[in-house]
Amino acid sequence: MILAVGTELTTGTTRDTNSGELARELTGLGVKVQRTSALPDDLAAVSAAVRDALAQVDLVVSTGGLGPTPDDLTREAIAAACGLELRVDPPTEAWLRGIFGRRGTDMPEANLKQAWLVDGAETLPNAHGSAPGWWLERPDGLLIVALPGPPREMWPMWREQVLPRLMAGRLGVERATHTLRLSGIGESALVALIGEPILRGANPQVATYARADAVDVVASAESDGRSTAQELVDQAVGLLRERVGEYVFAEGAQTWADALAARLAGRTMAVVEMGTGGQLAALLGAADFLVHGELERGEPGRGEPELNERAQRARAERGVDVAVAVRASENDGDTNVIVAVATDAATRKVARKAFLGGDEGRRRAALAACAALWTILGEQRVDG
């Protein structure tokens, strides 16, 4: 069970992204996540949630509530739920005081609570902040892992300290997982292509997840005594490629920027956007191949250059290998998308329709542009 602690989560001030991603990683390892819950900074509420979780599951993971302020109550809540006394851990206290000493200041006494532990708990050092985590193994075999809330602190602690320990023994058996990232097909349509027998299989397990930038198909398995977990996953992935391989643009944790970088193979690119609000450049982020991004304003069809011509001009002016010009315009609640791709081989233009309008339509227009670029670059590679 995953518990996200913080009143900012229950009031909607901050969005809880940690729980979903933690659930995804645990599910990929074959762990059945019974529930994720957001809880306010309330001692009674968090204590009750921890107590209820321990009565239902083997592993409880909490995020948030490990700061130094009075409303950071996760340590107190875990102690109360387990009937344990809090105490100061001298090595952790020394580490905390050392952090402030290196800054040339004394540690505020309020931070001393971040050195609290209970019997059976170990400190999980935090290399990116002052909030250590907890690894608490109870005599009955149940495990509680408390992580800080900020993702930049939580993820390194999870992946570098918690996950290796879980996989080394707490998860029990050898497990493997692999993700295929798909574009150009919806989650519901995938069910018919993959087939319910495969999606209902117990080992390996195959599940679909609709993400903001793709639809992921995740195959996970555990060793069964005859085959290793990786062998079972490889068999499942091979079957999935036969059925949905034409839609796969990336694998594992790869992004659109990673997939396009592979297709570009060292070539450089410029982007010109019209009507997208800069969503395409934002999606590609700091990709090495993107040397120029430009946002043009103006209403479609009113004196703007033909899109092929605009892509060709951008390629020549910016001295890049590939230029993409994309135009998005709302139409009856959806978004029309036209993408032109200019390379040394040819200039191609394709039209797509993105679901919904407004900001969501512009975001989907950027994804449609990535998909069109990926397809065109792939076709040119085959033709060449």
* Structure confidence by residue, pLDDT tens digits, 45-77: 999 999 999 999 989 999 999 999 999 999 999
What mean pLDDT comes out for the span 213-233?
88
What mean pLDDT comes out for the span 297-309?
66
CATH of 2-170, one of 1.10.1530.10, 3.30.10.20, 3.40.50.1820, 3.40.980.10: 3.40.980.10
Domain 175-251 falls under CATH 3.40.50.300: no
Question: Is residue 136 over pLDDT 60?
Answer: yes
Which pLDDT does position 302 carry in this prediction? 46
- Alpha-carbon distance of 142 to 55, in angstroms, equals 10
- Chain-centroid distance of CA 156 in Å reads 14
159 within 8 A of 127, measured Cβ to Cβ: no
Give the dihedral sign, CA 86/88/91/94: positive
Confidence of residue 300 (pLDDT cuts 50, 70, 90): low
Question: Is residue 299 over pLDDT 80?
Answer: no
Confidence of residue 140 (pLDDT cuts 50, 70, 90): confident
Helix axis angle for 43-54 and 74-82, nearest 10°, is 50
Question: Is residue 166 over pLDDT 60?
Answer: yes
Which pLDDT does position 354 carry in this prediction? 87
Confidence of residue 298 (pLDDT cuts 50, 70, 90): low
Count of helices and strands (H, E) across the chain: 14, 17
Which pTM value belongs to this model?
Answer: 0.62
Which pLDDT does position 207 carry in this prediction? 86
pLDDT tens readout for residues 259-294? 999 999 999 999 999 999 999 999 998 899 999 999
Task: Give CATH 3.30.70.2860 domain extents, the chain.
Answer: 175-251
Q: How confident is the prediction for the chain on average, in pLDDT?
A: 90
Which pLDDT does position 342 carry in this prediction? 95
Task: Give CATH 3.90.950.20 domain extents, the chain.
Answer: 257-383
- Fold of domain 257-383: Maf protein (3.90.950)
Question: Is residue 211 over pLDDT 50?
Answer: yes
**Which token pair is 312?**
């060709």
What mean pLDDT comes out for the span 180-185?
92
